[in-house]
Structure 1
């Protein structure tokens, strides 16, 4: 597809400029520091000449349903105002539909937006999206589709965590105290104390791989968690997934490796390994995968790269 592809329709042929812009906003994203952003976003998008509808939702399930309804009802584009979690909800609706998508990065983690070329500054990102709307321009990007044994599937844009980081998220979500970032920090300490390698079975494009490991990630994009480059060579336009894992390291070694993730230099450690595949089957006991920072599906799952699965307003 070229930069001149139209806003709606699954193929490269021109499509009529009809429908409306649906906007999903998370007022709690970024710990609320962008609360005043939404009126600016709505005003700027409205100036692009399209009717704008703000989706109403109070829970993640309601947001996911609202996005799906908007796509089914003929929305020409969906714009999110929030972080990776908000993006992930929207991707469930727009993936593989041809409906254009624009993320305004206003969360704690904005990895998908930044990794796919949107400005990190939310006001600059709004301008990029509005310009794309005016020009009728989209650019394709890949997504990853994960499928459980019972057929349940979920899309993600950035990274699937299926090791230590997933365990930390799972523990933090079960904790009612403390609040905010301290809860996550405490969950890290607890999981470090309980750290033990787990037996993983992977199949990379059908080729089996077994290992004992503590850190496993499958990336469509390079980073997660607000800029942690866990899969530094991942490219959301190459039709491939990057798999990075750390072997049976202890607490001290993991503590030394983790800070290097922000630079992506952890992949040079002798206990860290990288692979690339179109399809990744991953299995381990007691792990719930977290995709784009959100609780997704328990292992085992099959993750497949889907080229050009989303059309970005950029």
Structure 2
């Protein structure tokens, strides 16, 4: 690959396959940039991430992720902190990073915008969150990291072999709701102790997760800060009533919900696995920092 090439990471299973037929048209639109377009080959999420790293190391001019937040998550591991332009064609079940950064919701429109940005040499600096695990490993994310009840549900769903599809997540919610209990969180925001006992923690670079739930409704991925939303102990009934408010972002007006902004967050709690962009990251404790302009977004 050369510095003129556009490498494309596409997930054919994104959006439960409903956008599968779009890829030829997307590649054609990207080719209107005048650059060579090459599709990266990968058989697994791990292979996809390695393919992105290889492409960046080979000196590509741009990397484009065609899929949802999981595909974006794999791609940003390679482009974070580099000069390689990054484009997103939203084609997943959840497209929260795309929505939060102003990427057109229509895949073909997004591909056309990327082609124009590449052709014109225009990119917009956008923040990313940098996660350092307890073992010293580094991961990046673009949308939201969950470290409360939603992360527990994700972990349960990932262990289940039945049922398939979204019903598995629904069942995981029911099972974990029956075991709902508050945890003691060690929380430090820019050196200030904000430790608390509660059931919900989210650290957002963008506003939403889970396909449009506005967990951090005021988050701005260009302000150099991360938004932190926490919730005090809530009963099962209160949790059920809170969920519809997440779609509107009005949950932050509840007196049991707290909102903060910080450049660096240190968070720890027993028996919690953090999930970022819907992907498993690592067990707490974690250190999360905002890295301003860490990605050059093509849109």
Residues 35-74 of structure 1 aligned to structure 2 (within 5 Å): 35-74=20-59
1:188 is aligned, of 154, 170, 173, to 173
TM-score normalised according to structure 2 size:
0.98
Measure, in 2, the Cα distance between the counterparts of 1:18 and 1:183: 43
Partner SS state of residue 242, structure 1: strand
Task: Give the aligned partner of residue 147 of structure 1.
Answer: 132
CA distance in 2, matches of 1:55, 1:175: 30
* Equivalent-residue separation in structure 1 for 2:143 and 2:91 (angstroms): 16
Judge which range, 43-52 or 94-103, deviates more.
43-52
What stretches of structure 1 of length at least 5 have no aligned partner?
1-16
**Offset from partner CA, 1:35-82 (integer Å, 9 cap, x none):** 111101111111211111100001011000000000000111000110
Displacement of 1:150 in angstroms is 1.7
Does the CA-based 8 Å contact 2:225-2:263 persist in structure 1?
A: yes
- CA offsets, 1:102-158, max 9 Å, x none? 000000000101110111111111111111111111010000001012211100000
In structure 2, the partner of 1:10 is none
Alignment of 1:196-207 (within 5 A): 196-207=181-192
1:256 aligned onto 2:241: yes
Which residue of 2 is the match for residue 115 of structure 1?
100
Q: What TM-score do you get using the length of structure 1 for normalisation?
A: 0.94
Q: Among residues 123, 128, 150, which one is paired with 1:138 in the alignment?
A: 123
SS of the aligned residue for 2:23 comes to: helix
Structure 1 residues 154-191: Cα deviation after superposition (integer angstroms, max 9, x where no partner)? 00000000000001110000000011010000000001
What SS does the aligned partner of 1:74 have? Answer: coil
Look up the SS of the partner of 2:55 in the other structure. Answer: helix
Q: Runs of 5+ in structure 2 lacking a partner?
A: none
1:28 aligns with 2:13: yes
1:207-248 Cα offsets, whole Å, 9 max, x none, are: 111211111100000001111000001100000010001101
| CA distance in structure 1 between the partners assigned to 2:285 and 2:3 by the alignment | 42
Where do residues 142-181 of structure 1 align in structure 2 (5 Å cutoff)? Answer: 142-181=127-166
Cα RMSD after superposing both structures: 0.9
- Does residue 77 of the first structure (1) align with residue 62 of the second (2)? yes
Structure 1's consecutive aligned runs of 4 or more residues displaced over 6 angstroms after TM superposition are none
Aligned partner of 2:214 in structure 1 is: 229
